């Protein structure tokens, strides 16, 4: 079998020969080079470590008895360096006692051959170690691919496919975690609910692809406006949610106003189609015990959003300014259907039961719930 065929990554197999006796180095260099190996050499331990750092070899032939740093210490340092790939080390020494062999293997060496040695035996041991390296390298590659796949899968499980924001399920989990953290640390926490005004008419007039462009660009505006610690999610349809740690209601309203102004100033383009949009925003803070649970905090923000819609759209309403009414429910005592659904979803996230389904993939349809079948259904909230 040729040396090139043994190379774990193709090309010539690179061998590092370490020995403080120059004649030994020259003999091994000549014999290995004639077999097609690429040979690099070092005359002492520190020099060997430098060679390994510069260009890791496929295999090391390492003398044990060297002045200063011996082969055992060189092997220990190489094996302890997690930044290096797996490099087989064959100790080459005149020491033949059992305790010497044990010490060499425990220092990290993978094999051991005594001087004087038969070159054919040495090369056979090298080929065996190179086979082990090839298998180890393949295993490492598979593990890296698996880790990358797991990272991608985790991202897909918590991300909305269209906007690349956190999805409905995950944003509920985050809100529950942040609420508990804020309660524990006594830091403020706020939530902003943001809804694109008259989005259904955009879909009806220009089609869902244009609606998708608007959703995606609105998500970009939210990401650019939010801080690094803020958590931005697509709540469903054309509605977004931003969790604002260490933020009170007044600061949340200022954030929502920046978003509102940015959306109003933005020109949405989908080929020849040009669209201008506005947003309605509701914000609520958890400071001062206003909200006793993440469900209650979300309900307050949702009711404030409802008031922004009823107040003429394109505005920000704070929960402290809201009269407590919500969609299909003008009385403050009864919660809105959407807030009730949100509360149920948050309770599910807290108890690790089945989470509510994420938003529809395209999400460009209306977010309005179907009217109930009561004899006289209440009026639907404006878009």
pLDDT of residue 94 exceeding 50: yes
Which one of the listed residues 6, 217, 238, 295 is annotated catalytic?
A: 238
Who's near 260: CB < 8 A, 6+ residues apart? 278, 279, 281, 314, 315, 316
The model's pLDDT over 43-77, given as tens digits with 9 standing for 90+, comes to 999 999 999 999 999 999 999 989 889 999 999 99
The model's pLDDT over 111-166, given as tens digits with 9 standing for 90+, comes to 989 888 889 999 999 999 999 999 999 999 999 999 999 999 998 999 999 999 99
- Distance of alpha carbon 93 from alpha carbon 218, whole angstroms: 69
Q: How confident is the model at residue 97 (pLDDT cuts 50, 70, 90)?
A: confident
The model's pLDDT over 251-298, given as tens digits with 9 standing for 90+, comes to 999 999 999 999 999 999 999 999 999 999 999 999 877 788 999 999
Q: Which of 207-221, 259-273, 361-375 has the lowest mean pLDDT?
A: 361-375
Structure tokens at 88: 């087989």
Express as a percent the part of the chain with pLDDT over 90. 70
Query: What is residue 349's predicted lDDT score, i.e. its pLDDT?
Result: 44
Query: What is residue 157's predicted lDDT score, i.e. its pLDDT?
Result: 93
pLDDT of residue 186 exceeding 70: yes
CA 358, distance to chain mean position in Å, is: 19
- Distance of alpha carbon 60 from alpha carbon 54, whole angstroms: 14
pLDDT of residue 232 exceeding 50: yes
pTM passes above 0.75: no
The label of the residue with tokens 């005149």 reads: 94
The model's pLDDT over 24-43, given as tens digits with 9 standing for 90+, comes to 999 999 999 999 999 999 99
Residue 238 annotated among the catalytic residues of the structure: yes
Query: What is residue 341's predicted lDDT score, i.e. its pLDDT?
Result: 44
Work out the average pLDDT over 174-196.
95
- Distance of alpha carbon 176 from alpha carbon 364, whole angstroms: 27
Query: What is residue 99's predicted lDDT score, i.e. its pLDDT?
Result: 83
The model's pLDDT over 295-309, given as tens digits with 9 standing for 90+, comes to 999 999 999 999 999
Work out the average pLDDT over 157-184.
94
- Distance of alpha carbon 335 from alpha carbon 329, whole angstroms: 7
Using the CB atoms, write b or e for 130-162: b if 16+ within 10 Å. Answer: beebbeeeeeeeeeeeeeeeeeeeeeeebbbeb
pLDDT of residue 324 exceeding 50: yes
Q: Which of 218, 284, 281, 212 is nearest to 251 (CA)?
A: 284
- Distance of alpha carbon 225 from alpha carbon 254, whole angstroms: 11
Work out the average pLDDT over 7-33.
87
Cβ burial of 293 (10 Å; 0-12, 13-18, 19+) is middle
User: Across the chain, what does the average pLDDT equal?
Assistant: 84
Whether the CB-CB separation of 243 and 182 falls below 8 Å is answered with: no
């Amino acid at each position: 079998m040729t040396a090139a065929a043994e190379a774990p990554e193709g090309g010539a197999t690179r061998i590092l020969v370490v020995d403080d006796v120059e004649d030994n180095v020259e003999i091994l260099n000549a014999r290995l080079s004639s077999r097609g190996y690429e040979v690099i050499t070092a005359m002492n331990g520190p020099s060997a470590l430098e060679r390994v750092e510069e260009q890791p070899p496929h295999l090391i032939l390492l003398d044990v008895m060297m002045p200063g740093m011996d082969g055992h210490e060189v092997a220990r340092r190489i094996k302890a360096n997690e930044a290096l790939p797996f490099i087989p080390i064959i100790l080459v020494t005149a020491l033949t006692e059992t305790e010497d062999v044990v010490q060499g293997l425990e220092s990290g060496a993978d094999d051991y051959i005594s001087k004087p040695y038969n070159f054919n035996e040495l090369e056979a041991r090298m080929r065996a170690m190179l086979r082990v390296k090839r298998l180890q390298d393949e295993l490492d590659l598979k593990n890296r691919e698996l880790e990358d796949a797991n990272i991608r899968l985790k991202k897909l499980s918590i991300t909305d496919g269209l906007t690349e924001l956190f999805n409905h399920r995950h944003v509920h989990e985050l809100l529950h975690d942040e609420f508990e953290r804020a309660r524990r640390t006594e830091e403020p926490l706020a939530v902003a609910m943001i809804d694109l005004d008259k989005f259904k008419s955009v879909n009806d007039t220009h089609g869902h692809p244009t609606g998708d462009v608007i959703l995606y660009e609105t998500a970009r505006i939210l990401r650019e406006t939010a801080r690094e610690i803020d958590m931005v999610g697509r709540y469903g349809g054309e509605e977004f949610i931003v969790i604002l740690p260490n933020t009170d209601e007044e600061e949340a309203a200022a954030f929502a106003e920046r978003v509102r102004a940015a959306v109003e100033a933005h020109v949405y383009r989908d080929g020849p189609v040009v669209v201008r949009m506005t947003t309605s925003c509701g914000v609520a803070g958890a400071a001062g015990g206003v909200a006793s649970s993440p469900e209650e905090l979300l309900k307050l923000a949702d009711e404030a959003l409802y008031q922004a819609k009823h107040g003429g759209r394109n505005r920000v309403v704070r929960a402290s300014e809201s009269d407590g009414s919500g969609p299909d429910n003008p009385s403050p005592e009864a919660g809105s259907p959407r807030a009730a659904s949100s509360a149920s979803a948050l309770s599910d996230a807290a108890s690790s039961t089945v989470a509510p389904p994420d938003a529809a993939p395209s999400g460009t349809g209306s977010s309005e719930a179907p009217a109930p079948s009561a004899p006289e259904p209440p009026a639907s909230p404006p878009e």
